[in-house]
Amino acid sequence: MLTAHNLTRSFDDLTAVRNVTLSLAAGQLVALVGASGSGKSTLLNLLAGLLDADKGTIALNGQPVAGPKDRLVAGHPQIRVVHQEYQLMPNVSIRDNIAYALRYYERAYRDQRVNELLRLCRLEAVQHHKPRETSGGEKQRTAIARAIAEPARVLLLDEPFSHLDLPNRLLIRDVLIDLVRGTDSATNPGSGTACLFVTHDASDALSISDQIGLLQRGRLIQLDTPRRVYSQPKNAYAASLTGPINLIRGKHLPALGLPAVTNGDTEYGIRPEHIQIDPTGPVSGRVEGVFFQGRDTELLVRINRFVCLRVLTSQPDVAVGDEIRLRIVAKNLLTFS
Ligand SMILES: Nc1ncnc2c1ncn2[C@@H]1O[C@H](COP(=O)(O)OP(=O)(O)OP(=O)(O)O)[C@@H](O)[C@H]1O
Protein backbone atom coordinates (compact mmCIF):
# COMPACT_ATOMS: atom_id res chain seq x y z
CA MET A 1 0.00 0.00 0.00
CA LEU A 2 2.50 2.71 1.14
CA THR A 3 5.92 2.12 -0.33
CA ALA A 4 9.08 4.13 0.05
CA HIS A 5 12.10 3.52 -2.10
CA ASN A 6 15.61 4.77 -1.36
CA LEU A 7 14.51 7.77 0.70
CA THR A 8 17.27 10.15 1.66
CA ARG A 9 17.02 13.48 3.46
CA SER A 10 19.82 15.69 4.74
CA PHE A 11 19.88 18.82 6.86
CA ASP A 12 23.01 20.73 5.84
CA ASP A 13 25.80 18.17 6.17
CA LEU A 14 23.82 15.76 8.38
CA THR A 15 22.06 12.91 6.60
CA ALA A 16 19.05 12.27 8.83
CA VAL A 17 17.54 9.52 6.63
CA ARG A 18 19.70 7.50 4.29
CA ASN A 19 18.48 5.20 1.49
CA VAL A 20 15.47 3.86 3.35
CA THR A 21 13.26 1.40 1.51
CA LEU A 22 10.17 -0.04 3.17
CA SER A 23 6.54 -0.86 2.56
CA LEU A 24 3.45 -0.82 4.74
CA ALA A 25 0.46 -3.00 3.93
CA ALA A 26 -3.18 -2.58 4.95
CA GLY A 27 -3.80 -4.28 8.27
CA GLN A 28 -0.14 -4.10 9.23
CA LEU A 29 1.42 -2.45 12.30
CA VAL A 30 5.06 -1.54 11.95
CA ALA A 31 7.11 -0.14 14.86
CA LEU A 32 10.01 2.14 14.11
CA VAL A 33 12.66 2.01 16.82
CA GLY A 34 15.95 3.85 17.08
CA ALA A 35 18.12 5.94 19.35
CA SER A 36 17.33 9.61 19.79
CA GLY A 37 18.39 11.45 16.65
CA SER A 38 18.44 8.30 14.49
CA GLY A 39 15.95 9.82 12.03
CA LYS A 40 12.59 8.38 13.12
CA SER A 41 10.59 11.63 13.03
CA THR A 42 12.27 12.71 9.80
CA LEU A 43 11.31 9.41 8.16
CA LEU A 44 7.74 9.74 9.45
CA ASN A 45 7.46 13.26 8.01
CA LEU A 46 8.87 12.10 4.67
CA LEU A 47 6.36 9.23 4.50
CA ALA A 48 3.53 11.65 5.32
CA GLY A 49 4.51 14.01 2.52
CA LEU A 50 5.26 16.73 5.08
CA LEU A 51 8.93 16.95 4.21
CA ASP A 52 10.64 16.87 0.82
CA ALA A 53 13.04 14.01 0.19
CA ASP A 54 16.39 14.81 -1.43
CA LYS A 55 16.25 11.44 -3.16
CA GLY A 56 13.86 8.54 -3.44
CA THR A 57 10.16 8.01 -3.99
CA ILE A 58 7.01 7.41 -1.95
CA ALA A 59 3.82 5.96 -3.38
CA LEU A 60 0.39 5.19 -1.95
CA ASN A 61 -1.29 2.41 -3.91
CA GLY A 62 1.01 3.19 -6.81
CA GLN A 63 0.31 6.94 -6.82
CA PRO A 64 3.24 9.23 -5.90
CA VAL A 65 3.02 11.01 -2.55
CA ALA A 66 4.36 14.49 -3.18
CA GLY A 67 6.33 16.52 -0.67
CA PRO A 68 5.29 20.05 0.39
CA LYS A 69 7.13 21.82 -2.42
CA ASP A 70 4.83 20.13 -4.97
CA ARG A 71 1.53 20.62 -3.11
CA LEU A 72 -0.59 23.59 -2.14
CA VAL A 73 -1.38 22.03 1.23
CA ALA A 74 1.32 19.86 2.79
CA GLY A 75 0.40 16.27 3.53
CA HIS A 76 -1.80 13.67 1.93
CA PRO A 77 -5.57 13.28 2.54
CA GLN A 78 -5.27 9.52 3.08
CA ILE A 79 -2.28 9.69 5.42
CA ARG A 80 -2.88 10.83 9.01
CA VAL A 81 -0.08 11.83 11.31
CA VAL A 82 0.11 12.27 15.06
CA HIS A 83 3.17 14.32 15.96
CA GLN A 84 4.99 14.32 19.27
CA GLU A 85 3.68 17.84 19.93
CA TYR A 86 0.05 16.81 19.11
CA GLN A 87 -0.70 20.12 17.34
CA LEU A 88 -4.10 20.60 18.98
CA MET A 89 -6.00 23.87 18.51
CA PRO A 90 -5.40 25.67 21.83
CA ASN A 91 -8.60 27.74 22.00
CA VAL A 92 -11.22 25.09 21.39
CA SER A 93 -12.34 22.21 23.58
CA ILE A 94 -11.12 18.64 23.38
CA ARG A 95 -14.49 17.73 21.85
CA ASP A 96 -14.20 20.39 19.16
CA ASN A 97 -10.60 19.47 18.42
CA ILE A 98 -11.83 15.98 17.54
CA ALA A 99 -14.95 17.25 15.76
CA TYR A 100 -12.78 19.45 13.53
CA ALA A 101 -11.49 16.33 11.77
CA LEU A 102 -15.13 15.58 10.83
CA ARG A 103 -16.17 19.11 9.84
CA TYR A 104 -17.27 18.07 6.34
CA TYR A 105 -19.68 15.44 7.67
CA GLU A 106 -23.29 16.14 8.54
CA ARG A 107 -23.96 17.21 12.11
CA ALA A 108 -25.78 14.11 13.36
CA TYR A 109 -23.07 11.71 12.18
CA ARG A 110 -20.32 14.02 13.46
CA ASP A 111 -21.85 14.20 16.97
CA GLN A 112 -22.33 10.46 17.12
CA ARG A 113 -18.79 9.72 15.93
CA VAL A 114 -17.24 12.26 18.32
CA ASN A 115 -19.16 10.68 21.23
CA GLU A 116 -17.87 7.30 20.17
CA LEU A 117 -14.26 8.53 19.99
CA LEU A 118 -14.53 10.28 23.37
CA ARG A 119 -15.73 7.02 24.88
CA LEU A 120 -13.16 4.89 23.05
CA CYS A 121 -10.24 7.09 24.17
CA ARG A 122 -11.67 7.76 27.67
CA LEU A 123 -11.96 11.50 27.16
CA GLU A 124 -15.61 12.05 28.09
CA ALA A 125 -14.78 13.72 31.42
CA VAL A 126 -12.54 16.36 29.81
CA GLN A 127 -14.45 16.87 26.57
CA HIS A 128 -15.30 20.51 27.40
CA HIS A 129 -11.79 21.39 28.62
CA LYS A 130 -9.33 23.36 26.52
CA PRO A 131 -6.08 21.48 25.77
CA ARG A 132 -4.19 23.60 28.36
CA GLU A 133 -6.65 22.31 31.02
CA THR A 134 -5.80 18.68 30.28
CA SER A 135 -2.92 16.35 31.13
CA GLY A 136 -0.23 15.24 28.69
CA GLY A 137 -1.89 11.85 28.34
CA GLU A 138 -5.32 13.40 27.66
CA LYS A 139 -3.80 15.61 24.97
CA GLN A 140 -2.09 12.60 23.46
CA ARG A 141 -5.34 10.62 23.40
CA THR A 142 -7.12 13.59 21.84
CA ALA A 143 -4.55 13.74 19.05
CA ILE A 144 -5.01 10.01 18.44
CA ALA A 145 -8.82 10.30 18.52
CA ARG A 146 -8.64 13.12 15.98
CA ALA A 147 -6.32 11.13 13.72
CA ILE A 148 -8.59 8.07 13.67
CA ALA A 149 -11.87 10.03 13.44
CA GLU A 150 -12.13 9.50 9.71
CA PRO A 151 -11.16 6.48 7.68
CA ALA A 152 -7.55 6.71 6.53
CA ARG A 153 -5.38 4.39 4.53
CA VAL A 154 -2.26 5.12 6.52
CA LEU A 155 -1.70 6.20 10.11
CA LEU A 156 1.73 7.48 11.14
CA LEU A 157 2.22 8.01 14.87
CA ASP A 158 5.23 9.60 16.53
CA GLU A 159 5.52 8.08 20.03
CA PRO A 160 1.78 7.54 20.54
CA PHE A 161 2.17 6.00 24.01
CA SER A 162 4.83 8.26 25.52
CA HIS A 163 2.53 10.13 27.94
CA LEU A 164 0.12 7.34 28.79
CA ASP A 165 -0.08 5.48 32.07
CA LEU A 166 -0.28 1.69 31.85
CA PRO A 167 -4.11 1.31 31.66
CA ASN A 168 -4.40 4.03 29.01
CA ARG A 169 -1.44 2.62 27.14
CA LEU A 170 -3.15 -0.76 26.93
CA LEU A 171 -6.42 0.92 25.96
CA ILE A 172 -4.88 2.92 23.11
CA ARG A 173 -2.89 -0.10 21.97
CA ASP A 174 -6.17 -2.02 21.65
CA VAL A 175 -7.84 0.89 19.84
CA LEU A 176 -5.00 0.93 17.32
CA ILE A 177 -4.97 -2.82 16.87
CA ASP A 178 -8.75 -2.79 16.16
CA LEU A 179 -8.29 0.04 13.70
CA VAL A 180 -5.37 -1.53 11.89
CA ARG A 181 -6.98 -4.97 11.65
CA GLY A 182 -10.19 -3.41 10.37
CA THR A 183 -12.32 -4.52 13.31
CA ASP A 184 -13.31 -0.92 14.20
CA SER A 185 -16.12 -0.81 11.68
CA ALA A 186 -16.90 2.91 11.96
CA THR A 187 -13.36 3.93 11.18
CA ASN A 188 -12.46 1.52 8.52
CA PRO A 189 -15.02 -1.02 7.42
CA GLY A 190 -13.25 -4.26 6.77
CA SER A 191 -10.13 -3.21 4.93
CA GLY A 192 -7.80 -2.17 7.76
CA THR A 193 -5.33 0.64 7.96
CA ALA A 194 -1.57 0.54 7.56
CA CYS A 195 0.08 1.93 10.67
CA LEU A 196 3.64 2.89 11.42
CA PHE A 197 4.46 4.08 14.91
CA VAL A 198 7.64 5.42 16.41
CA THR A 199 8.48 4.20 19.88
CA HIS A 200 11.34 4.16 22.37
CA ASP A 201 9.68 1.37 24.28
CA ALA A 202 10.82 -2.07 23.20
CA SER A 203 7.86 -3.80 24.89
CA ASP A 204 5.33 -1.84 22.78
CA ALA A 205 7.25 -2.63 19.62
CA LEU A 206 7.67 -6.31 20.45
CA SER A 207 4.16 -6.94 21.68
CA ILE A 208 1.89 -5.33 19.09
CA SER A 209 3.77 -4.87 15.84
CA ASP A 210 3.88 -7.21 12.87
CA GLN A 211 7.30 -5.89 11.95
CA ILE A 212 9.94 -3.78 13.65
CA GLY A 213 12.19 -1.44 11.72
CA LEU A 214 15.43 -0.41 13.42
CA LEU A 215 17.04 2.89 12.48
CA GLN A 216 20.72 3.58 13.10
CA ARG A 217 22.05 6.99 12.06
CA GLY A 218 19.40 7.32 9.36
CA ARG A 219 19.78 3.81 7.96
CA LEU A 220 17.12 1.13 8.28
CA ILE A 221 19.47 -1.61 9.49
CA GLN A 222 16.83 -4.28 10.11
CA LEU A 223 13.18 -4.78 9.25
CA ASP A 224 11.73 -8.05 10.42
CA THR A 225 9.25 -9.74 12.72
CA PRO A 226 9.55 -8.90 16.44
CA ARG A 227 10.73 -12.45 17.19
CA ARG A 228 13.55 -12.34 14.65
CA VAL A 229 14.61 -8.80 15.50
CA TYR A 230 14.84 -9.88 19.15
CA SER A 231 16.52 -13.24 18.66
CA GLN A 232 18.70 -12.46 15.62
CA PRO A 233 19.65 -8.79 15.96
CA LYS A 234 21.81 -7.42 13.19
CA ASN A 235 24.38 -5.89 15.55
CA ALA A 236 24.91 -4.91 19.20
CA TYR A 237 23.00 -1.65 18.72
CA ALA A 238 20.01 -3.54 17.28
CA ALA A 239 20.12 -5.98 20.20
CA SER A 240 20.17 -3.16 22.75
CA LEU A 241 17.14 -1.44 21.19
CA THR A 242 14.85 -4.41 21.72
CA GLY A 243 15.86 -5.35 25.28
CA PRO A 244 18.64 -5.63 27.83
CA ILE A 245 21.74 -7.38 26.53
CA ASN A 246 25.12 -8.30 28.03
CA LEU A 247 27.94 -7.43 25.62
CA ILE A 248 31.05 -9.55 26.05
CA ARG A 249 34.41 -9.60 24.21
CA GLY A 250 35.51 -13.00 22.88
CA LYS A 251 38.54 -13.08 25.19
CA HIS A 252 36.23 -13.18 28.23
CA LEU A 253 34.13 -16.16 27.09
CA PRO A 254 36.20 -18.85 28.92
CA ALA A 255 35.60 -17.03 32.22
CA LEU A 256 31.91 -17.63 31.53
CA GLY A 257 32.36 -21.36 31.01
CA LEU A 258 32.19 -20.99 27.23
CA PRO A 259 34.69 -22.26 24.63
CA ALA A 260 37.62 -19.98 23.74
CA VAL A 261 37.49 -18.23 20.36
CA THR A 262 40.32 -17.25 18.02
CA ASN A 263 39.48 -13.55 17.78
CA GLY A 264 39.34 -12.18 21.31
CA ASP A 265 37.99 -8.82 20.08
CA THR A 266 34.84 -10.25 18.53
CA GLU A 267 31.79 -8.98 20.36
CA TYR A 268 29.14 -11.36 21.66
CA GLY A 269 25.79 -10.78 23.31
CA ILE A 270 23.70 -12.71 25.78
CA ARG A 271 20.23 -11.77 26.94
CA PRO A 272 19.81 -11.67 30.76
CA GLU A 273 17.03 -14.28 30.62
CA HIS A 274 19.40 -16.73 28.93
CA ILE A 275 21.71 -16.92 31.94
CA GLN A 276 20.59 -19.50 34.48
CA ILE A 277 21.27 -19.49 38.18
CA ASP A 278 22.42 -23.07 38.74
CA PRO A 279 24.23 -24.37 41.87
CA THR A 280 26.17 -26.76 39.62
CA GLY A 281 26.97 -24.09 36.99
CA PRO A 282 30.60 -23.56 35.89
CA VAL A 283 30.74 -19.83 36.67
CA SER A 284 30.82 -18.16 40.04
CA GLY A 285 29.87 -14.53 40.65
CA ARG A 286 29.03 -12.07 43.39
CA VAL A 287 25.67 -10.27 43.35
CA GLU A 288 26.23 -6.50 43.22
CA GLY A 289 22.70 -5.35 42.54
CA VAL A 290 19.14 -6.67 42.95
CA PHE A 291 16.35 -4.88 41.05
CA PHE A 292 12.85 -6.17 41.67
CA GLN A 293 10.73 -5.80 38.51
CA GLY A 294 7.44 -7.37 39.50
CA ARG A 295 7.31 -10.76 37.82
CA ASP A 296 11.11 -11.09 37.61
CA THR A 297 14.14 -9.69 39.38
CA GLU A 298 17.20 -8.39 37.58
CA LEU A 299 20.57 -9.09 39.19
CA LEU A 300 23.95 -7.52 38.52
CA VAL A 301 26.49 -10.26 38.97
CA ARG A 302 30.24 -9.51 39.05
CA ILE A 303 32.21 -12.38 37.46
CA ASN A 304 35.65 -10.74 37.48
CA ARG A 305 37.28 -7.33 37.06
CA PHE A 306 36.16 -7.12 33.42
CA VAL A 307 32.79 -8.85 33.30
CA CYS A 308 29.61 -7.93 35.14
CA LEU A 309 26.43 -9.63 33.92
CA ARG A 310 22.77 -8.70 34.06
CA VAL A 311 20.80 -11.82 34.94
CA LEU A 312 17.01 -12.15 34.97
CA THR A 313 15.58 -14.53 37.53
CA SER A 314 12.27 -15.39 39.09
CA GLN A 315 14.06 -16.44 42.31
CA PRO A 316 13.11 -13.84 44.92
CA ASP A 317 15.63 -14.89 47.61
CA VAL A 318 18.88 -13.46 46.21
CA ALA A 319 20.56 -10.57 48.03
CA VAL A 320 23.45 -8.19 47.38
CA GLY A 321 26.71 -9.86 48.44
CA ASP A 322 25.52 -13.43 47.73
CA GLU A 323 27.89 -15.71 45.83
CA ILE A 324 25.93 -17.52 43.11
CA ARG A 325 26.75 -19.94 40.32
CA LEU A 326 25.65 -19.43 36.74
CA ARG A 327 25.32 -21.42 33.56
CA ILE A 328 25.29 -19.97 30.03
CA VAL A 329 24.34 -22.19 27.12
CA ALA A 330 26.56 -21.48 24.09
CA LYS A 331 23.66 -21.70 21.62
CA ASN A 332 22.11 -18.59 23.19
CA LEU A 333 25.20 -16.51 22.48
CA LEU A 334 24.75 -13.87 19.76
CA THR A 335 27.78 -13.04 17.62
CA PHE A 336 28.05 -9.46 16.44
CA SER A 337 31.31 -8.85 14.66
N1 LIG B 1 14.67 20.73 10.60
C2 LIG B 1 15.88 20.25 10.94
N3 LIG B 1 17.00 20.98 10.73
C4 LIG B 1 18.20 20.51 11.04
N5 LIG B 1 18.44 19.28 11.57
C6 LIG B 1 17.36 18.50 11.82
C7 LIG B 1 16.03 18.96 11.52
N8 LIG B 1 15.16 17.98 11.86
C9 LIG B 1 15.92 16.98 12.36
N10 LIG B 1 17.23 17.29 12.32
C11 LIG B 1 18.35 16.43 12.75
O12 LIG B 1 18.21 15.18 12.08
C13 LIG B 1 18.55 14.11 12.96
C14 LIG B 1 17.35 13.17 13.04
O15 LIG B 1 16.31 13.84 13.74
P16 LIG B 1 14.92 13.16 14.06
O17 LIG B 1 14.06 14.16 14.75
O18 LIG B 1 14.41 12.54 12.82
O19 LIG B 1 15.39 12.02 15.08
P20 LIG B 1 14.49 11.06 15.99
O21 LIG B 1 15.04 9.69 15.79
O22 LIG B 1 13.06 11.26 15.73
O23 LIG B 1 14.90 11.58 17.45
P24 LIG B 1 14.04 11.61 18.82
O25 LIG B 1 13.87 10.17 19.22
O26 LIG B 1 14.97 12.33 19.75
O27 LIG B 1 12.75 12.32 18.59
C28 LIG B 1 18.92 14.73 14.29
O29 LIG B 1 20.32 14.81 14.36
C30 LIG B 1 18.29 16.12 14.23
O31 LIG B 1 19.03 17.04 14.99
Distance (Å) from CA 152 to ligand 1 centroid: 26
The architecture in CATH of the region 2-240 reads 3-Layer(aba) Sandwich (3.40)
State which ligand 1 atom lies nearest to the alpha carbon of 43.
18
State which ligand 1 atom lies nearest to the alpha carbon of 44.
18
Q: What is the DSSP letter of 73?
A: S
Instruction: Please give the pLDDT value at position 188.
Output: 47
Q: Do domains 2-240 and 245-335 have the same CATH topology?
A: no
Structure confidence by residue, pLDDT tens digits, 236-276 = 999 999 999 999 999 999 999 998 888 888 999 999 999 99
In angstroms, rounded to a whole number, what is the distance separating the alpha carbons of residues 222 and 22? 11
In angstroms, rounded to a whole number, what is the distance separating the alpha carbons of residues 214 and 270? 19
Q: Hey, which of 17, 40, 219 would you mutate to test ligand 1's pocket, going by the most ligand atoms within 8 Å of its Cβ?
A: 40
Amino acid at 309: L
Distance (Å) from CA 219 to ligand 1 centroid: 13
Secondary element (H or E) of residue 103: none
Structure confidence by residue, pLDDT tens digits, 106-130 = 999 999 999 999 999 999 999 999 9
Average pLDDT, the chain: 91
Write the residue with the smallest CA distance to atom 5 of ligand 1: 11
Distance (Å) from CA 156 to ligand 1 centroid: 17
Record the pTM: 0.88
pLDDT at 58 over 90: yes
316 versus 191: the higher-pLDDT residue is 316
State which ligand 1 atom lies nearest to the alpha carbon of 200.
25
Q: Hey, which of 7, 15, 41 would you mutate to test ligand 1's pocket, going by the most ligand atoms within 8 Å of its Cβ?
A: 41
Q: Where are the domains of the chain?
A: 2-240, 245-335
In angstroms, rounded to a whole number, what is the distance separating the alpha carbons of residues 138 and 14? 35
Instruction: Please give the pLDDT value at position 44.
Output: 95
pLDDT at 12 over 50: yes
Q: 85: how many CB neighbours lie within 10 A of its CB?
A: 9
Instruction: Please give the pLDDT value at position 184.
Output: 56
Distance (Å) from CA 39 to ligand 1 centroid: 6
CATH superfamily of 245-335: Nucleic acid-binding proteins (2.40.50.140)
Among the listed residues 8, 24, 16, 40, the one whose alpha carbon sits nearest the alpha carbon of residue 160: 40
Average pLDDT of span 152-175:
89
ipTM of the complex: 0.98
92-101, 161-170, 299-308: segment of lowest average pLDDT? 161-170
Write the residue with the smallest CA distance to atom 7 of ligand 1: 11
Write the residue with the smallest CA distance to atom 27 of ligand 1: 36
Q: Hey, which of 9, 11, 50 would you mutate to test ligand 1's pocket, going by the most ligand atoms within 8 Å of its Cβ?
A: 11
pLDDT at 189 over 60: no
Instruction: Please give the pLDDT value at position 190.
Output: 47
Provide the sign of the torsion angle of the four alpha carbons 77, 82, 83, 88, taken in this order.
Answer: positive
Question: What is the C-alpha end-to-end distance of the chain, expressed in Å?
Answer: 36
Instruction: Please give the pLDDT value at position 183.
Output: 63
Which pLDDT band holds residue 186 (cuts at 50, 70, 90)?
A: low
Average pLDDT of span 136-141:
92
Instruction: Please give the pLDDT value at position 3.
Output: 95
Structure confidence by residue, pLDDT tens digits, 320-330 = 999 999 999 88
Average pLDDT of span 215-240:
96
Computed on alpha carbons and rounded to an integer, the radius of gyration of the chain in Å comes to 23
Instruction: Please give the pLDDT value at position 69.
Output: 82
CB under 6 Å to ligand 1: residues?
Answer: 11, 14, 16, 34, 36-42
Write the residue with the smallest CA distance to atom 25 of ligand 1: 36
Distance (Å) from CA 286 to ligand 1 centroid: 42
pLDDT at 218 over 90: yes
Instruction: Please give the pLDDT value at position 75.
Output: 76
